[in-house]
Amino acid sequence: MSGSRTLVVLDGLFDDLDIESAVAANLGWRLVRWDGSEAMLARAKAVAHVRTRIDAAMLDRLLACRVVGRFGTGLDTVDLAAAEHRGVRVVGVRDYCIPELASHTLGLAFALDRRLDAVRAGRMAADASWQEVASRQPMPGRTTATVIGFGSVGAAVTRALLPLGISVRVVTGHRTAEAQAIGAAAVALEEGLVGAGFVFLHAALRQDTAPMIGAKQLALMAPGTILINTARIGLIDEAGVAAALTGGRLGGLGLDAKLAANSPLRAFLHDERVLVTPHVGWYSERSARELRRRTIQDSIDAYNALPGKAEKKTRGTR
């Protein structure tokens, strides 16, 4: 592929790059996995990554790079200010796993609400009575929910809850009318926390949202509230949440995150009120294919859209 531009994958999701390479080749690009050399970094016109920290120092090594793509939605692995200063476009992939993440979110919430962990094999005999199940933990019958963040996943969760007879309040800064149009109430954060049976976190992780739920916010919640966070672990103060579990303020906690070795929430991994999954809510075979394809496609599209960088080759179909 003589004369083709090169996209370097700094670190990827899978051992092979078959999907990524096919997309790049269809667009007239060459895709390679980083071999650790400075020369490869210096020649790359675009890079893609998952965990590699793209800070100012890394950007200085990417001498020809004009686009940084990420296999994921969040861009917290990139120093966005440094990238903008150097004229580098940063691309994430949105809306590739809405069904997966929304259903995973609701699965955590309903499993905690219905105390499914208490009745699974090994926790309680299969022939236990309903009285035995109910006596293990309160089952108040939660019919109110607050969804914090009304992006694609937050909206999907809201739409799923409403037909079940659950009253939903939404905390959003810019999609108030959309939330109200489907039957949810738009409220401020503090108002939304008061009296909610469920609290769902779907906000983006930014400097002004880290953490969004700490001791002050937890104190506003009614005893027994179930908190679900399938966004980013940085949205919660882990020590504050641990204290709320210890004190009985929280009735349940659902997380989709890899907990650090020193996380205070590790003490609750075997607690019936807590369900933690290892950042798998986004995943299905379908969504993984879509993410791999679109990361490369969107990165090359972003490069082609740069002034003076338009490709003459017809782009592939999506």
Give the pLDDT of residue 209: 65
Check whether 3 has a pLDDT greater than 70.
Answer: no
**214 & 165 share domain:** yes
b/e sequence 227-259, b meaning 16+ C-beta within 10 Å: bbbbbbbbbbbbebbbebbeeebbbbbbbbbeb
* 247 part of a folded domain: yes
Cβ-in-10-Å burial (0-12, 13-18, 19+) of 76 comes to middle
Predicted TM-score (pTM) of this structure: 0.88
Last residue of a domain, one of 277, 296, 312: 277
Tokens of 259: 């907990």
User: Do 106 and 91 belong to one domain?
Assistant: no
How far apart are alpha carbons 104 and 277 in whole angstroms? 10
Q: Are residues 91 and 106 in the same domain?
A: no
Mean pLDDT lowest among 28-37, 128-137, 176-185: 128-137
pLDDT at residue number 313: 40
Quick one: the chain helix, strand, coil %, rounded to 5?
Answer: 40, 20, 45
Q: Is the pLDDT of residue 311 over 60?
A: no
CB atoms within 10 A of CB 303: 23
Assess whether pLDDT exceeds 70 at residue 245: yes
* C-beta of residue 289 within 8 angstroms of C-beta of residue 297: no
Q: Is residue 316 assigned to a domain?
A: no
The range of the structural domain enclosing residue 238 comes to 98-277
| C-beta of residue 291 within 8 angstroms of C-beta of residue 71 | yes
Residues 111 and 155 in one domain: yes
Alpha carbon separation from 63 to 47, 57, 60, 67, 228 (Å, rounded) = 12, 11, 6, 11, 42
pLDDT of residue 316 exceeding 60, the answer is no
Identify the CATH number of the domain in which residue 234 sits: 3.40.50.720
Residue 123 pLDDT? 58
Domains of the chain: total: 2
**pLDDT at residue 160 is higher than 70:** yes
Q: Are 183 and 194 in a shared domain?
A: yes
Same-domain status, 65 and 149: no
Least confident of 49-63, 156-170, 208-222: 208-222
Is the domain of 127 the same as that of 91? no
* Same domain membership, residue 35 and residue 148: no
Q: What is the pLDDT of residue 217?
A: 97
Are residues 259 and 299 both part of a single domain? no
For residues 175 and 85, state if they share a domain.
no
pLDDT at 309: 62
Within a domain: 291: yes
Shared-domain flag, residues 207 and 224: yes
Q: What angle do CA 149, 184, 240 make, to 5 degrees?
A: 40
Q: Flag whether 317 is in a domain.
A: no
Q: Is the pLDDT of residue 312 over 50?
A: no
* Digit-coded pLDDT (tens) for 72-107: 998 989 999 999 999 999 999 999 999 999 999 999
In a domain, 314, yes or no: no
What is the average per-residue pLDDT within 270-295?
A: 96
Q: Is residue 147 part of a domain?
A: yes
Q: Do 89 and 102 belong to one domain?
A: no
The reply to whether 117 falls in a domain is yes
Q: Closest by alpha carbon to 248, among 209, 211, 216, 221?
A: 221
Within a domain: 310: no
Q: What is the pLDDT of residue 141?
A: 87
